[in-house]
Chains A and B, each alone.
Chain A
Amino acid sequence: MNQLVSKSIATDAQYRIKGGIHPQEYKSLSNQQPIASIQEPPFYILPFSDLNKGSTTTNLEIAQPVEQGQILINSELANLSSVVHSPCDGVIADISEFDLGHPSGLEQPAIKIQAMPKSELERSAHADSLTDQIDYQSLTNEQLIKSVHQAGIVGLGGAGFPTHIKLSAPKDSIHTLIVNAMECEPYITCDDRLLREHPQSVLKGALIAAKTVSANRILFGIEDNKPEAIAALKTAIENYFDELTSTQESLEIKIIIAKTKYPSGGEKQIIELLTGQQVPKGQLPSSLGILVQNVATLEALNKAINQRQVMTKRLVTITGNLVGKPGNYWIPFGTPVSHIAEQLEVNLEQLACFIFGGPLMGTRHSNLEIPTKKSTNCIIFDSAYKTLEYPAKHQECIRCGECELACPMNLVPQQLYWFAKSQQWEALEEQQLFSCIDCAACSYVCPSEIPLVSYYQFAKSEIKDIKNKQIKSDLAKARFDNREKRLARIKAEREEKRRKAAEARQLAAANKTNDPDGKKSAIEAALQRVKAKKENKP
């Protein structure tokens, strides 16, 4: 393998994405301070299933003591839910249903842990960090994937998809690893600060991921509003190339800087920006040979493989005009929002609701007792957000077409809105409703302030339900038809049997009328025997 020393590591993006918006960024609220930590909360609440998919189990019982880093919730390798570890030393306080902020308002099963400090001496082997380093180059792919699964690593960009499944792509099917450092949504700055302060960790994670999928190219995609992060990353990559010996393989590593625009950080959008290719409808980036990972995910991956640290916390941006100490903090999973609000001096008097995620794609909540999850990358406490939902009464669509200009997926949001409103499901599918990424750029530009994405989510939910019901009814019909055929066949066979039996009886009856006592046939048989005897005698 030749050593490729990229002279120009950082270049500008040569492709563009259609549409998009330029909302006010609000990044300076939280990206000026270095990363910090907060005091641990008194208890944690950890959900059984991040994505409400796949069945997870626990071996633990109430009042059982747990250690930091101990596996609480198990999940199979193929499941879409991840392994969950204890973020603290403590004792299981409760295993039941809690309000975790699901949009339905329904409670979901979770484990509540009461934190209790343990002395250093009682720590056992599965604590969350070990001193001995491991060279990841010596691990096989299966071992790497198993470690990633056991460390409970999921995508930290917001979607929460299990990373080990993404890394399990068939051999030689992936040639490019794209590292998503775009962070295009307003308010969120955790990836920015992470890159500024721990660029080597991110780079190491990227190298591990690239090795696992045998990619030969790593592209870092980042927006141009993060010059410090770009500089830090550039230095880290240059140092990596400097430290490479001539016998080591090296990859092509580039930083591609895109003009700041929302939603450049979407998976399909970053692929188009960096490579000019569009992911075909209904397919995954792996069909183009591309794997996309968030910087925070790769940093956690590095810690998991190189330092044997399971994932129990992540960087969360706490921001908004009501936060006394805004910034980016290491928050363990399961921390109740009330604790964060108290620690960071949030002005609760003026707070109407808080947002998990960004103002465009995030979810609004009012219950401060809900915990942070693996996918929570930001919490916004801001007086600008006054309602839990968009206003139910909005003005009518004036068919201005602004939404179509903003849509990054080349859809016509106006038509999607009219069809969703009138519940014309077939027309919605023709308009490619399921290509919508819910980025809310259309809702942002709408002069009538229509909550367009709410309509699309409603429509998607209804269509999925209808399709599931149709599958069930088709199956039931097939089984019913088969049963009818089976019963008809049995009936026909019985008829056949009866007919044959009747015929046989009739034949026997006919014989009997000719020969009621059987004497005739006996005489016949006797005569035949005599005849035969005569013929045998000479």
Chain B
Amino acid sequence: MSDILLLLISTVLVNNFVLAKFLGLCPFMGVSSRVETATGMAAATTFVLTMASLASYLINHFILQPLSLEYLQILSFILAIAVVVQFTEMVVQKSSPVLYRLLGIFLPLITTNCAVLGVALLNVNKNHGFVDSIVYGFGAALGFSLVLILFAAIRERIAVADVPAPFQGAAISLITAGLMSLAFMGFSGLVKA
């Protein structure tokens, strides 16, 4: 139990996928202009990450490893991720057309989100078991969601503030992300990796 807890804290705070590993920056920048959109994206990514993590573990453990087809990992993982994302897209379009519209192109782009493929491959690298894989995927998603929503809240406030002209737009957002990353460095050493 404590192992799982440590794993969660490690992935959410210490080795945060966005701010420490710098994966998944594309949706991080693209979707975080409003908190509602960010929350929707966070929910979608959480679902995709957990499912993809699970699916890729199963594929790897039951098909690829027994048949010594490890070189097909990237191919099959992307296939699995694409299926999960397509499925998520359909669910979102049905349940909330507004969110579907707001997320726009970033919803199918979760497929190419390096964080998702990263989680799948890191699971293999670290030889995670069944439970650990799921927890790792879920923790990564949780960390991504936390940072995404925080960043969206900050960006909403920056949007109405008096930002100097050279800094307006993407510039101030990236600076803010950098500062957040510095802040999260404070967690390093909390959990022995």
Contact = CB atoms under 8 A, between A and B. Distances in A.
A104 interface: no
Interface string B144-166: 00000000000001011010000
Instruction: Give the size range of B's interface with the partner.
Output: under 10
Nearest to A423: B160
A396 B160 contact: no
Interface string B67-78: 000000000000
Contacts of A390: none
Contacts of A422: 159-160
A399 to B, nearest CB: 10
A469 interface: no
A164 B162 CA distance: 50
A396 B159 contact: no
A421 B160 contact: yes
Interface in A354-411: 396
A421 B157 CA distance: 12
Interface string A331-343: 0000000000000
A426 to B, nearest CB: 11
Contacts of A421: 160
A418 B160 contact: yes
Contacts of B162: 396
Interface centre among B157, B159, B160, B162 (most CB of A within 10 A): B160
Nearest to B160: A422
Contacts of B160: 418, 421-422
Nearest to B159: A422
Contacts of B159: 422
A268 B157 CA distance: 32
Contacts of B157: 418
Interface string B25-64: 0000000000000000000000000000000000000000
A422 B159 CA distance: 9
Contacts of A418: 157, 160
Interface in B116-167: 157, 159-160, 162
A400 to B, nearest CB: 15
Nearest to B162: A396
A396 B160 CA distance: 12
Interface in B172-191: none
A422 B155 CA distance: 14
Interface of B: 157, 159-160, 162
6 contacts: A396-B162, A418-B157, A418-B160, A421-B160, A422-B159, A422-B160
User: 4 smallest A-B Cβ distances: which pairs?
Assistant: A422-B160, A418-B160, A396-B162, A421-B160
